[in-house]
Structure 1
């Protein structure tokens, strides 16, 4: 474990996290304008990270550029410099993780979701993220992923980095799903859980809280979600209702 003490993990529950930054109709998700808006609002930030062709962690959710830009094709086929020149709808480029870490250096908590589509992507992306965190002093930052292999990498190679498992029980409530979650926990040895708001209340989340793992929940969008989260989780990852 990476020192699962209340003090070390306190940043996970101190304030809500803006999902992909505080984005909306005129502010693009995972762009610097959205991150700056979250910082100005006093929120933490949740972001998604993938690896560029030249091995640089960049902040982007999808494996391909098509949905969020006028460009097309895989993120992995472009260099970080090329991606910085690809324009998001609000006019910003695709940021490097190092740029976001610098912006959060004033104390803004950061959740970095490792996005992996194939198992061979895990080690190079995790190594790149760990190096970026080390260069910027770590700070109030954590990594998390749906993929337990990624979190296992951090457990072995960068155990001081706070790590979490992202979990959804949608379509996985039967025995096979329960076994998968148990195996993922054993493999990843996480410091916290980020669970789907649609799953709450959840015996799985309750057991995790009982073991001392903070439970964050995503993606909270309305008053009903907030009430459910207040009763069954320790902090929220949210989007504004007008997004």
Structure 2
């Protein structure tokens, strides 16, 4: 996506900075949802390195969740991660989504970048087996691009404002730091998903965070 505006600026933000924010959003999504090592449980070092170090509280919260996941601070709401002792990735990740941007109304010198992407992971039980299922993750992100002459920012880093996620085909054990797909052979174990059945591929509605991990997928 190319950023365009009057006089090489969008709402007072230099076009180069808007383009950098768009690029940073894309790189962050790749590092947090497509990096093979991260998908298999490794620390998301590339993604963390992209976050503005001035966002001290946010970085501290994210790192705390990675070190010791809890139900209220589970890293899977930002990073796609599986347990390699339980899950094997079968194919390339399927991705669908878009990046957009618009001026922040009433605030000169700021532009909001929005990302809305769905990631589809084909997985099988680790160690072999004939069953293959899919876990579907939809994430929406909001980042800001700010005029460095008016706001204190770090050049080349992303500033996350909002991250929302839905995970379909997860066993509902929130707080353990990984996505645990439900396979037909072990559906008698763990919590039973609740809530209305929803199509995880339907992108016509917004993310419903209330369904975190326990929504019922109508298909995978």
With structure 2 as the length reference, what TM-score do the two structures score?
A: 0.24
Tell me which protein shows more strand as a share of its residues.
2
